Every structure is written in C-alpha cells, then in structure tokens.
Amino acid sequence: MTAKIKPTQGAPAARIIGVGGYRPHRVVPNEEILKHIESSDEWIRSRSGIATRHWAGPDETVVEMTLAAAGKALADSGTTAEEIDAVIIATVSHFKQTPAVATEIAYRLGTGKAAAFDISAACAGFGYGLAIAKSLIVEGSATRALVVGVERLSDLTDLTDRSTAFLFADGAGAVVVGPTDEPGIGPTVWGSEGDKSDVITQTEPWDRYRDEHLERFPALRQEGQAVFRWAVFEMAKVARQALTASGLTPEDLDVFIPHQANMRIIDSMVKTLKLPDHVAVARDVESTGNTSAASIPLAMERMLATGQAKSGDTALVIGFGAGLVYAATVVTLP
C-alpha cells in the first residue's frame, strides 16, 4: 500500500501587515564621492538622480541594521516576536558565509525556534523573500513571516570606479507578512537570465583574494548601458505580466515601487508602462542611493511615512539585478 501525505491548508491568502526601515546615520553627498573620481555633481545627478546616499558606520552591521528595521516592522504590524514563524533575510553583503544572518536575527528578536534562512537574489531579493513568505502562510507552514532586505554595499564599492562609485549604499527594510481572507500579495512573476551574469558582478571571487593576495578588495562592477536597456524594456514586460496575473491594469494602481537602481531607469519605466498621472512613484534613490535588496521596503516605508502612499493602496513592486534576476508582484500596502 502506498501511503498518502496528508494535505494541509493554511490561510486563504497573505498580505503585508507592517513595514519598517533603517538608514545609517552617515549621509554621503556627491561632493564626497568626487574626492575619488573625476566627475561632477551635475554629471552624477544626470546619470543616476542620486544626490546623497547613506553609508554604514562600524557599528551599523548587517545584523544591527536588520534588527532595527525588523523591530520597526514588528511594531508597525502589532506583532510580537514570538508570533513570527519564519525569518527570511535577503542580502548579498553579509561576509560571514555561515551561519546565516537570519538565525541570529531570529534569536536576538526572541522568535523562539522560527525557521530562519538567507536568500541571495541581489536587487530582486526582497521580491523573492516576499513570494516565499506568502507561500509558507498559504500552505500552512507559517502564520506570520518576517522578510528583510539588508545591504552594506559600501563595503563592495570601488571608490575609484567612475561608473559605480556614486551608486551603491547601505540600509535595511523589513516587512511582516501575515494571513488574510482577501489576497494582499498577488502572483509573483519571477525568473533569471543567466546568460547576462557578467552584466552586474563582483570583480573577483573570494578565493582569489585568499590565494593570490589581490591588492584590491573585490568590488561590484556593472555594464551600465546594458543594465539600463534590460531594465527599461525587459522589466517593463515583467511588470505588465505581474499586473495581468493579478487581474489588474495600470489604471488600477495607486503606487509604483520599483527597485531604486537609478532615476533614469525609474522614469523610463514609468513612461514605458504608461502609468497614469495619479500613480505615485517611489523615487527614494535620490536621497538613499541604490541599496539593492533593501531598496523596495525602504522606499515603501518612506512613501507611507510621508503621505505619498497610504494603507490599503494597491502597489506594483518590481526588483531586478545581478544574475540577472527579477521578481514582480502587486501588493496591498500595510
């Protein structure tokens, strides 16, 4: 006789019920970047839209920034740490290979024996984490999940690289995902294009730094024009697919929160998608820089805090980055 696995049933649906963010204390203006590269404030702004970015100090580690953002998200959702069943951390800048950041976060928050793991999907990491959290809740493996995007990209920035020195930044953004009767997180349209793995990458693997005693620490590099074309044209298609999967059109949206890569990409995507004027668009990159996996929840938190968006709004979110990887979905804002 073949034994049958008992079917499980979780919540009818899931949604984001709280959000929190942490930006490091140190604000770095373009003028400071210009000490290392031959450029101008005008050029940096015209190419990226970035005026300032936050860089972490010695005490603002990946773990500490995550704890700060997570604490705010828990408070915003009215959730205690003990109610969290899963902790999912998206990051590419935690230099300790093992154990995962998530296990320390789960312990220090006081979640008990919550499932805890890290994921590495670069600037799409938050979207991947959100999709996993939703699935856990709907299948019944978790009731509430904490999803955090966190980066210290200043550690991977080559200040002499004129094409990237001004882009990357640090910070953490967190959300609590919980059960609901009506869908608050739509289907996720996600994927990868590994043939473009060299478009955004690390200059050297860690083992070469050890074995060959490289003079320069490994850093991030990217082919800016290739990233721009891919993001504007291919990611606009993915965004449309996410809308269609949720049974919505651009006119149904209240908010658009793309990965905060740079302002030119954001503005071009808005035009390509033909978003109506009433749709509020996240442009947090101007003062926060590109924080990779943290950028979407950080922008979400700021839009809600400043009144650009409100609880219950319908938002299209899309992340895309190194891999190349992407993830898009429609959410109801907490």
Q: What is the largest CA-CA distance in the chain?
A: 74
Out of 30, 54, 259, 262, pick the active-site residue: 259
Task: Tell how far CA 172 is from the center of its chain.
Answer: 9
Q: Residue 112 is which amino acid?
A: G
Task: Tell how far CA 116 is from the center of its chain.
Answer: 18
In this structure, the strands spanning 86-90 and 115-119 are parallel
Distance CA 131, CA 11 (A): 15
DSSP secondary structure string for all residues of 6-55: PP----SEEEEEEEEEE--SEEEEHHHHTTTSS--HHHHHHHH--SEEEE
Out of 30, 54, 94, 123, pick the active-site residue: 123
Would residue 123 show up in a list of annotated catalytic residues for this protein?
yes
Would residue 259 show up in a list of annotated catalytic residues for this protein?
yes
**Is-contact 157 289, C-beta < 8 A?**
no
Distance CA 23, CA 40 (A): 25
Catalytic sites, residue numbers = 123, 259, 290
